[in-house]
Amino acid sequence: MKTSKLAEGLKGSEIIKIAGEVNALKAQGETIYNQTIGDFDSSVFPIPKELKKEIINAYHNDQTNYPQANGMEVLRETVSRYLSHRLDLDYSKDEILISGGARPLIYAVYQTILDLDDTVLYPVPSWNNDAYTYLARNNAVVVETKPEHKFMPTVHDIKPHIQNVNLIALCSPLNPTGTTFDKNTLTEISELVVSENKRRADEDLKPLYVIYDQIYWQLTYGSTVHYNPVELVPEMRAYTIFVDGISKAFAATGVRVGWAFGPSHVINKMKAMLSHIGAWSPKAEQMATAAYLSKNVEVSNYLGHIKNELNFRLVRFYEGFQDLKRKGYSVNAIEPQAALYLTVQFNLIGKTTSSGQTLTSIEEVTSYLLNEAKLAVVPFYAFGTSRTSNWFRLSVGTSKKEEIYTIFELLEKALSNLS
């Protein structure tokens, strides 16, 4: 029985495929170190206790009916103050839209900005832009980024296509790499967009917009600074729709409170679209988030804690890969900057296992690591790159400190068995 052409053509998640292999091994009693999940083990990274208390209070206070279509006013006001205080961005409550996490907001941006057969430019690796472009029935310009740029797009990647695209999808800190835009690169891209929009205004053409997903912006480490287009090039305010929320910085992926902010005429149309879908964040969680984000000291304390914990893990994994590299193994890693991800390389194509199998594809490398090292990581082709890319995402949101040494013991043994 056939379904719609849209449904038939939607690709399955590569990460879910890997999860199936992981679960099959676990069912056989294997211990698997699953570093694939862009989420948190809530026993290791619980949500802030003050946020949990506020959620419980909201339910006790019967905050269980429909929320406002664009989000509860108290939360939009709180987010407005939060952005001003922590990012020096000035957006009013009416330029902010609340939703059940970031995903509905990204979907709404695509549906609001783009007509059928418009074109989206997005870099790879990146999370889910291929799916959103497909669902919006749009064309894609896909830019495969380079490790020497930490897999972030440059102005030179974008400029050749600038006159032919309608939306540019950017994310910083980036999922899957945990890397960020530097100030100069993002400034150059923003200036290019402003220049292109001046040309389009002269020719009475539809503007070029940028969706800027910054859901990980509060999770930066060391000297890394988070930048956004509007602070660097103020004219970008007219063309930038931000996507943000509490999911990552507060380990609250299941609480489902996200927000978009940007030009009011775009935000209002996104509101209308999501109203028909009903992709609202639950009212109790909205009221709780408003109360929690107003607690500046508690918020800062939690952010300090989670950043220290994530950074500890990222650094230990990074150092472990650098140690293996010094020993002569064909691995590498990019120094962590942000989020909960480490970009790692397994240059193992052509290697032969102890059983005589030659690894001829990234799929086989992924399976070898899973079966022999008990390590589950996600190849970058799951995020849109060519299937020959030998880079992977390693997530630390579910890792326990005491397991890291064991992971590298098993990994080194598996690597040593290759010739």
Handedness of CA 266, 272, 277, 281 (dihedral sign): positive
pLDDT digit string, tens, across residues 56-81 = 999 999 999 999 999 999 999 999 99
Domains within the chain, CATH numbers bracketed: 5-45+300-416 (3.90.1150.10), 49-295 (3.40.640.10)
What local confidence, expressed as pLDDT, does residue 10 receive?
85
Are the CB atoms for 95 and 263 separated by under 8 Å?
yes
Which of the four pLDDT bands, split at 50, 70 and 90, describes residue 208? very high
Instruction: Give the residue from 270, 287, 261, 394 showing the smallest Cα distance to 332.
Output: 394
Mean pLDDT of 390-398: 96
- Least confident span in 17-26, 145-154, 202-211: 17-26
Work out the mean pLDDT of the chain and round it to a whole number: 95
pLDDT digits (tens, 9 = 90+) for 218-276: 999 999 999 999 999 999 999 999 999 999 999 999 999 999 999 999 999 999 999 99
Name the residue with higher pLDDT: 287 or 28: 287
Burial class of 155 by CB neighbour count within 10 A (0 to 12, 13 to 18, 19+): middle
pLDDT on residue 160: 97
Strand partners, 213: 171, 243
* pLDDT confidence tier of residue 24, bands split at 50, 70 and 90: confident
Residue 14 has pLDDT above 90, yes or no: no
In this prediction, residues 5-28 reach a mean pLDDT of: 84
One-letter amino acid identity for 284? A
Give percent above pLDDT 70 in the chain: 100
pTM: 0.94
Mean pLDDT of all residues in 388-405: 95
Helix, strand, or coil (residue 278): coil
What confidence score (pLDDT) does residue 72 get? 97
Q: What pLDDT, on the 0 to 100 scale, is given for residue 15? A: 81
> What local confidence, expressed as pLDDT, does residue 173 receive?
98
